[in-house]
A and B are shown apart, each in its own frame.
Chain A
Amino acid sequence: MSSVTPVIGIDFGTSNSKMAWYNPLTQQAAPLKNAEGDDVTPSAVYFGEHETLVGQPAIDMLEDEQAWDRVILSVKRSMVDAPVYNLPDNRVVSPLEVAAEILRKLRHDAEEFHFQEEIKHTVVTCPANFDGLERDEIQKAAQMAGFSEVELLPEPVAAALAYTHTREQEGFQVGNYVLIYDLGGGTFDLAILVREGGVQFRLGLEPDGIKRCGGDDFDEALYNYCDKLAQEKLGRPISLTGMRDLHFLYECRKRKEILTGHKHRTFSSYLAPDSRQFKYELDQTTFENLIHNQVKKTVEKTKAVLEQAHALSFKIDTFVLVGGSAQVPLVKRMLDENLPLKAIMWPYREVAVALGAAYHAYNKWNAGPSGKFQSTEYSKFRDMAEIVWRGSPAAVETEREENKPKIETPDQSKPGDFTLVNTLNGHANIVWCVAVSPDGQTLASGSEDGTIRVWNLDTGRMLRKLDGHAGGVYTVAICPDSQTLLSGSADGNIRMWNLLSGALLHVFTGPSGWTANVTSFAVSPDGRLLASGSRDKTIKFWNLTTGMMLRPLVGHTDTVWSVAFSPHDGQLLASSGADHTVRLWNLRTGMLIRSFSTQTASVHSVVFSPNGQLLVYGEGDQNIQFWNLRTGAQLRPITGLSGMINSVIFSPADGKFLACGSSDRVIRLWNLREGVQIGTFSGHTGSVQKIAFSPDGQTLVSGSADATVKIWRRT
């Protein structure tokens, strides 16, 4: 927990502000309550002689005849070339200071009541049409408030992010063109957002809206109506001073909220100065008539924006209502009646913008450079024991003096220490995959011919042929018990066999209608879990004990070519795909820790080093990339290869050697400790598809497009 940078998202509003955080346990952003116990903090500051109050306590001071002139409200609209406000004691405050006080309170309340530690990072939202100068002012205010790292995010982008992330977590699909209808306290904003991938959005059109239109107007309409009622019933206005009775105005706000749920209510107020009782009845219809014109204006505006979007061929598929005032039932009703698109009333409408800011903040500061949600595990992971893949510091010193770059220059003269001992014929087509049992006895191979063959590793004798798949067998795995064989095929099925008897134990079928081919397997170190990558871009999990399919990992945007569990703990999963990315997932939380993007290359093979410190993958047909997971640093790659890198493996146990099989028919071997290539093994007459070490590291097997399996032994 403590290794996560504490971050909050802030919706700094003209009349109200909100804050939220991202909860890694629920994987959802949630609003944070302020010291008063509310989600919403009025953007008001009271500058007393000895104290500064922010939020509702500041608003409350407005009712004090002695103190009202120390309360400053709604400064957001004039932050650039700002005016100053003078206080009774000849003090002067600027909007910047007022904004900073509001942000400081939010920060303080979040620290005090929630994080119990200092918060230095925040994402603050601002209106979509704020220009650079206005954004600078918000940034300055946040810095004055004690945030050292500040990022700004346009409000509608935040709302779209929050909605999309939440809904997709819940398993629903959200479209690519989102219209955000934001009816707040003071302003009405409309924005069209275009999805850029993941939950990232950009503005598709100039944002539009109405400057003075929102809940404050609704409150006032109700106030004026009540004023009329008071005249009729009591023969007096609400206020006898000729000024607005702010207390009654706030009551109107509450009445308004009550009327969203009640058709008809009787209310009672006590009017100043003599606390005269004022009993009156209000019903929803009356209230809706009062605000009908205001709402109609927003509907007209929305219609116009939809027409503009249509003209630009944006196919708006998602129409979300956010903002506190969107909850007035009339809003949705009128929108639905007048627009071709159904409006979605989202339960988190009031805090949507803050939630989006929280997601963005977590994403930014608790994730890797590729910017995806990262779990707390990552930091823990970085503390694991050290490994330096190119040897000890001493070795490094020697290398420096010799000044001899090693890895890039394969030492061709020196023969590799593996020699070909056996070529296994039998398959009628490409051998896609090979696997060696953990006891080192058996070898399994899967082929395009739809069969799996099981061989004695020592003698090379074929033990059995397993038929059943209706398509090529792309992947095989043998469980830690050395008895269970799993095979995945182009037919979309996964079969579980008894390796010794050849009996079919189980057929795993995916969700109905799921026919995507299974491209790759990984069995968790404890043998309980099977991960499978497939052409449908997902990584699926199967409980090998119960046969149940578990929640898939979604994120890759193209075929998943390879999956690997982290050794020992099996807590992490690495996956690689045709979408040019390698992704590292936390299996405990199901969250993406980090995504490594390659330049333009499909990644066919990803692997952890046996001690779990390195993540290694072949980048297209050129490089093998190394990442130190402890430091998060990218290490020097092996470059200049030729042929698609189909399979990269570490020698078991020590991880001293790295082998790679490529489409140029060659298997290469490096000594990572010394940083040299020690062998190039040819013999296959077709692309090398998959290689595997025996558990003792003494035997290497390879499956090839030439339909053979070859066995190589250390000499």
Chain B
Amino acid sequence: MDFMDKIEQDLKKALNEAAMQLHEARPNLLLGDPAAQLKKIATQVSQSCIVAVVGQVKVGKSSFINALLHDDLAKVGTTETTATINYFRYSEGDLAPDSTVCCFFRDGHSSYVDRAFLNGLQGNDIETLRRSQEIDHLEYYLRNHDLERIMLVDTPGTNAAVDEHQNVVAEFMRLEKQLRDRHDEETKELADTADAVIYLIGAVAGSTDQKFLEEFHELTKGRSEAFNAVGVMSKIDLHSETIERRVELSAKIANQLQENLNTVVPVSAGIYRALDSLLANNRARLKRLVETLEGIASGKFDKFFFSPNHYLRTDPDWPASLELRKELRGNLEWSVFATIARVAVEHSFDLDAIEKQLRAIAGFDQLRDVLELHIFQRSRILRYYSKVNLARQVLNKLRFLLPSDKHDSEGRDKLERYLKFIQQTGDVGCNATTAHELEALVKKSLALQVEPLDSIVERLVREFDVIFHKLEQYNEDFGALQVVIKHASLFLPTEIDELKEILGWYGLEVENRLSLDYVRERQRQWRRISLYDTNSIRRDVANQVVERYGRIQKKLGGN
């Protein structure tokens, strides 16, 4: 059986077992019925890994998600229902257009909804708010490869948006606040309960790493863990300086937040979208743009592209008519358009180079690699990890929150004291038979005493600790593997092959493929590296590999 299947099975078994034992031991536990909670977690174990996208309002989550899902969403025809929580789930086969989006209402009923319905959720008016208020969440069923392994959740975002609407009435304010408060709560809850989180931050004034850091801090509130959180700087296209410094900025931020975020990736959904139209029909639009730009006299570019107004100014040096210029820009955001133009010039109008660079700036290829490595491939481990921790939380809560159960242990303490008393002094002052009868009586009641909740919890939690440690080991191997791939230049090709094999790239059941002597020898080599190597990254990886070999050796029955 596959490692992950085994974990899944163990976890479900432990959850059901714990639920049953808890229910048997304490059928009347109040406090949210922990046994039922554990049972519920058991049913959730096999569901897909939930990845929440969390960001402030207006950070461009919708376009980000759209880009992430390869525009499968756009095909559905809706992109901007920002006032609802949206789930994106995998669907096998092409669904009929009328059964692609299901709306779950707060009153409990649900129904498939059409495009008109979704359009009705996109405004910024009182009617939209009223409609949104009724809705719990929307589910989109998409035939998207990534969604086979995860379920994406688009949260409504945090922080109340400053309303710029002109004629706001009190009713509107009230409704908006209500909805906003609810969504704030739900976003926090989703960020806390999701198996993994993508934190999204938009453009930041000044584009300094400090500002970005603050935004991330504000967003994650210190709750996020590098283990299951990825940071994304979106809208880097708003400032040309941010685009230029994006790699440096994201590396700096990632370094500062290495405890909270797995990595930080800069993306531009604007460039990503623009690429679509630029590259359509064999790069027709890109070619036209490049041809035009090529005609600009050297030294004039900066002047023409200084601002949207400069771009449209009449100037005898412009090789293109105003109409053509308007057409070239189309509906692109100015910053996106200007960036594309600048890239074209910087890459000497070489179409391949321009496309490559724009793709790099869009960042979605890199992001998808990151998500693949950090989240999609690990979807099961992330899921089980979060469920194990949830189970531990449910149980541990009992230890602290149930003062009523103290009576049990008090009763037990008392009986134990009686017993001690009888044994010590009980036969003084009454006859021996009575003393023995008394002793037997107390012993009997002691045996009838129920096990104190503390000790039940202690016992049950251990079952989950076992699973947790297995997952953690697996995850540490996985983490080391990621480090190896990220810092491939630090390792010899032969080392990389060995590490991939050992750390689970080709599956975990390596034991059968290795001999005991080989394992011993390799552990020794890597131990040497872990002690003496000058590079701390290599030493860290080596430490993990040493342990891995040590575990393999144990399974091989070395010694």
Contacts and interface: CB of A to CB of B under 8 A. Distances in A.
A390 interface: yes
B549 interface: yes
A685 interface: no
Interface stretch (B99-107, B196-204, B428-436): B428-436
Nearest to B466: A133
Nearest to B464: A131
A289 B461 CA distance: 45
Given A83-B546, A86-B523, A132-B461, A390 B429 contact: yes
B241 interface: no
Contacts of A246: 531-532
Contacts, number: 111
A62 B531 contact: yes
B430 A405 contact: yes
Contact of B549 (A83, A301, A675): A83
A635 B425 contact: yes
B44 interface: no
Contacts of A83: 546-551, 553-554
B559 interface: yes
A15 to B, nearest CB: 13
Contacts of A71: 531
Interface in B502-532: 520, 523-524, 527-528, 531-532
Contact of A243 (B462, B534, B550): B534
A68 interface: yes
A81 B462 contact: no
A400 B427 contact: yes
Given A92-B559, A244-B533, A399-B429, A634 B421 contact: yes
B424 interface: yes
A251 interface: no
Given A81-B469, A83-B551, A86-B553, A242 B429 contact: no
B458 interface: yes
A633 B424 contact: yes
A307 B221 CA distance: 10
Given A132-B458, A301-B259, A308-B222, A68 B531 contact: yes
Nearest to A92: B559
A358 B238 CA distance: 60
Nearest to B259: A210
Given A390-B429, A399-B429, A405-B429, A81 B551 contact: yes
A86 B558 contact: yes
Contacts of A92: 553, 558-559
Nearest to A217: B536
A244 B465 contact: no
Interface string A301-315: 100100110000000
B432 A69 contact: no
B478 interface: no
B124 interface: no
B458 A84 contact: no
A138 B9 CA distance: 29
A80 B533 contact: no
Interface residues on A, range: 35 or more
A273 B448 CA distance: 74
Interface in A83-126: 83-86, 90-92
Nearest to A675: B429
A263 B425 CA distance: 70
Interface in A218-268: 220, 239, 242-244, 246
Interface string B396-436: 00000000000000000000000001001101111110100
- Which of A83, A243, A297, A390 is the most central at the interface, judged by chain B CB atoms within 10 Å of its CB? A83
Given A80-B469, A220-B536, A85 B550 contact: yes
Contact of B534 (A74, A239, A307, A401): A239
Interface in A386-436: 390, 396, 399-401, 403, 405-406
A653 interface: no
A171 to B, nearest CB: 34
Contact of A242 (B259, B466, B470, B534): B534
B48 to A, nearest CB: 28
A400 B528 CA distance: 76
A286 interface: no
Interface string A285-302: 000000000000100110
Contacts of B468: 131
A406 B430 CA distance: 10
Contact of B425 (A90, A239, A636): A636
A71 B546 CA distance: 13
Contacts of B470: 81
B473 interface: yes
A405 B421 CA distance: 16
Interface in A54-74: 62, 68-69, 71, 73-74
Nearest to B535: A244
Contacts of A307: 222
A554 interface: no
B425 to A, nearest CB: 6
Contacts of A133: 462, 465-466, 469
A85 B473 contact: no
A80 B462 CA distance: 12
A82 interface: yes
B473 A81 contact: yes
A86 B532 contact: no
A86 B554 CA distance: 10
A148 interface: no
B469 A132 contact: no
B122 to A, nearest CB: 36
Contacts of B425: 633, 635-636
A692 B258 CA distance: 74
Contacts of A23: none
Given A132-B461, A132-B462, A84 B550 contact: yes
Given A92-B559, A132-B461, A243-B532, A86 B524 contact: yes
A60 to B, nearest CB: 14
Contact of A400 (B432, B532, B554): B432
B222 A86 contact: no
A169 interface: no
Contacts of A390: 428-429
Interface in B222-237: 222
A502 to B, nearest CB: 49
A682 interface: no
Interface string A119-163: 000000000000111000000000000000000000000000000
Contacts of B431: 400-401, 403
A92 B531 CA distance: 19
Contacts of A600: none
Interface in B433-479: 434, 458, 461-462, 465-466, 468-470, 473
A149 B387 CA distance: 36
B429 A396 contact: yes
Given A132-B465, A304-B222, A78 B547 contact: yes
A586 B547 CA distance: 53
23 contacts: A62-B531, A68-B528, A68-B531, A69-B527, A78-B547, A80-B465, A82-B551, A83-B554, A133-B465, A133-B469, A210-B259, A242-B534, A243-B532, A244-B531, A297-B256, A390-B428, A399-B429, A400-B429, A400-B430, A400-B431, A633-B424, A634-B421, A636-B425
Pick the 4 closest A-B CB pairs, nearest first. Answer: A83-B550, A243-B532, A92-B559, A400-B431
